[in-house]
C-alpha cells in the first residue's frame, strides 16, 4: 500500500524530486570542485570538458536512468521494508541522514560512470530497436551493436578523465567534511533517538503493549495517529539540542546525559515489550532485533564505555554499518523487484 500525503504518493514524489535535483547537484559538484585534466593544462579545454561536457554526460545519464526506472524506483521505496526488515520505522530518522551521506560519498561516485555507460548503451539500443521489448543477441543487428559501441565512447572517456578525481573528492568529503561533522552528528543522533524513545513509550502505553506504528507496512489499518505525541517528540528533540548547546554557543548542560541514559533504557524496554507482546498477538510481528541492537550499540558506546577512543570507534562503526544496511536493503529490493503498475 502506497503512502500518500493529500493524494500525493510519497515515493513517486521523491523520484520526481530526484529527477529535478540530481542534475543540479552534478553540475554544482563540477563547478565548485577544482577538478583538472591529467593530460592537459589548457584552461579553455579544461573548462569545456570539466565544467560542461562531463557534468552534461553524467546528468543526461542519470536523467535517463531515473526516468526509465521511475516506477521501479518508486516501488522499491515502497517495498524495501517488506523485503528486509531490520530497522524499525522510528529509527530510520536516526540513521537515514547518515545513510544518504555515505551513499553520496562512496556509492554515487563509484556507480555514476557505470550508470553513464549503461544509460548511453540503452539509448542506442532503443533508437534502433524501439519495437523490441527485450535484448536478443541473435536478433540484434550489427548496426545496433556498432551504434551501442559508439554511444559508449563518450561516457567511457568522461569516466576515464574524472574517475581518479572522483575518488579524491570522496576522500575530501570524508576527511574534511564528514569526520569533522561527526561530533555534531552524534549529538543530533543522541537527541533524535532519545526523543523518539520517550515518544515510543507513550505510544506503547496507548496501544496497550505494542508500538503498532512500527508495523505500518504490515498492518496499515492499525496505525494510530497520535499527533500530540509526535509534536511532543519534536519539542523534546529541540529541547535536547538546546541542552547540547546548539543554541547557546555549544555550552553543554550536563543534565543531558541523564536524558540519554533514560532514553537508552526506554529503548531497550520498548524493544523487549514489543517483541514479547507482538509475538503473542501475531507470529509475523517484526521484532527488528538487528535495528534495535545497532541503536543500542550506538547509544551504549557513548554512555557505558569510559574509553573515549573505543566509544568513538564503536559509534562510528554502528553508524557506517547501519548506513550500508539501508543502502543494501534498497539496492536488494530494486534488483529483486518484479515491476508492475500500482
In 33-107, which residue ranges form alpha helices assigned H by DSSP? 43-46, 54-68, 70-83, 92-102
Cell triple for 89 = 520505522
Residue 315 belongs to some domain of the structure: yes
Cα distance between residue 81 and residue 79, in whole Å: 6
Residue with cell 532503443: 126
pLDDT tens, 97-109? 677 777 877 778 7
pLDDT tens, 28-69? 888 888 888 888 889 899 999 999 999 999 999 999 999 999
Residue 92's domain spans which residues? 1-101+163-342
pLDDT tens, 205-247? 776 544 444 443 344 444 445 778 888 889 999 999 999 999 8
Residue 40 belongs to some domain of the structure: yes
Residue 117 belongs to some domain of the structure: no
Residue 140 belongs to some domain of the structure: no
Residue 333 belongs to some domain of the structure: yes
Cα distance between residue 211 and residue 188, in whole Å: 24
Cα distance between residue 229 and residue 203, in whole Å: 8
Cα distance between residue 200 and residue 105, in whole Å: 32
Q: What is the DSSP string of 279-316?
A: HHH-TT----HHHHHHHHHHHHHHHT---HHHHHHHHH
In 129-178, which residue ranges form alpha helices assigned H by DSSP? 142-172
Residue 136 has pLDDT above 60, yes or no: no
Residue 182 belongs to some domain of the structure: yes
Number of domains in the chain: 1
196-225 CB burial, b ≥16 within 10 A, e <16: bbbbbbebbeebeebbbbbbebbeeeeeee
Residue 156 belongs to some domain of the structure: no
Give the pLDDT score at 318: 72
The DSSP code for 6 is T
pLDDT tens, 152-211? 999 999 999 887 777 777 777 778 777 787 788 778 878 888 888 888 888 777 765 444
Cα distance between residue 288 and residue 209, in whole Å: 16
Residue 115 belongs to some domain of the structure: no
Q: Give pTM, 2 decimals.
A: 0.71
Residues of the chain above pLDDT 90, percent: 21
The DSSP code for 90 is G
Amino acid at each position: 500500500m502506497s503512502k500518500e500525503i493529500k493524494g500525493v504518493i510519497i515515493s513517486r514524489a521523491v523520484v520526481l524530486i530526484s529527477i529535478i535535483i540530481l542534475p543540479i547537484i552534478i553540475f554544482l559538484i563540477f563547478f565548485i570542485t577544482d577538478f583538472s585534466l591529467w593530460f592537459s593544462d589548457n584552461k579553455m579545454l579544461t573548462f569545456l570538458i570539466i565544467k560542461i561536457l562531463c557534468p552534461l554526460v553524467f546528468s543526461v545519464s542519470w536523467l535517463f536512468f531515473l526516468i526509465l526506472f521511475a516506477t521501479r524506483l518508486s516501488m522499491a521505496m515502497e517495498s524495501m521494508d517488506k523485503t528486509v526488515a531490520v530497522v524499525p520505522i522510528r529509527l530510520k530518522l536516526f540513521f537515514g541522514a547518515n545513510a544518504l551521506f555515505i551513499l553520496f560519498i562512496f556509492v554515487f561516485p563509484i556507480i555514476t560512470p557505470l550508470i553513464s555507460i549503461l544509460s548511453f548503451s540503452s539509448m542506442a539500443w532503443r533508437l534502433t530497436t524501439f519495437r523490441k521489448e527485450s535484448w536478443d543477441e541473435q536478433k540484434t543487428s550489427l548496426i545496433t551493436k556498432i551504434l551501442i559501441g559508439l554511444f559508449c565512447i563518450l561516457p567511457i572517456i568522461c569516466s576515464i578523465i574524472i574517475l581518479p578525481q572522483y575518488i579524491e573528492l570522496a576522500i575530501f568529503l570524508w576527511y574534511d567534511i564528514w569526520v569533522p561533522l561527526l561530533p555534531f552528528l552524534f549529538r543530533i543522533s543522541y537527541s533524535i533517538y532519545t526523543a523518539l524513545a520517550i515518544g515510543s513509550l507513550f505510544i506503547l502505553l496507548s496501544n496497550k503493549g505494542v508500538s503498532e506504528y512500527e508495523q505500518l507496512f504490515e498492518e496499515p489499518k492499525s496505525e494510530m495517529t497520535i499527533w500530540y505525541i509526535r509534536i511532543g517528540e519534536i519539542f523534546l528533540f529541540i529541547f535536547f539540542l538546546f541542552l547540547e548547546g546548539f543554541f547557546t554557543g555549544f555550552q553543554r548542560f550536563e543534565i543531558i546525559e541523564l536524558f540519554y541514559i533514560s532514553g537508552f533504557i526506554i529503548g531497550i524496554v520498548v524493544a523487549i515489550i514489543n517483541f514479547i507482546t507482538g509475538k503473542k498477538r501475531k507470529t509475523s510481528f517484526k521484532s527488528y532485533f538487528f535495528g534495535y541492537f545497532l541503536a543500542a550499540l550506538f547509544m551504549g558506546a557513548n554512555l557505558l564505555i569510559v574509553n573515549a577512543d573505543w566509544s568513538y570507534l564503536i559509534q562510528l562503526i554502528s553508524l557506517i554499518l547501519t548506513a550500508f544496511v539501508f543502502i543494501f536493503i534498497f539496492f536488494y529490493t530494486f534488483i529483486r523487484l518484479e515491476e508492475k503498475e500500482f
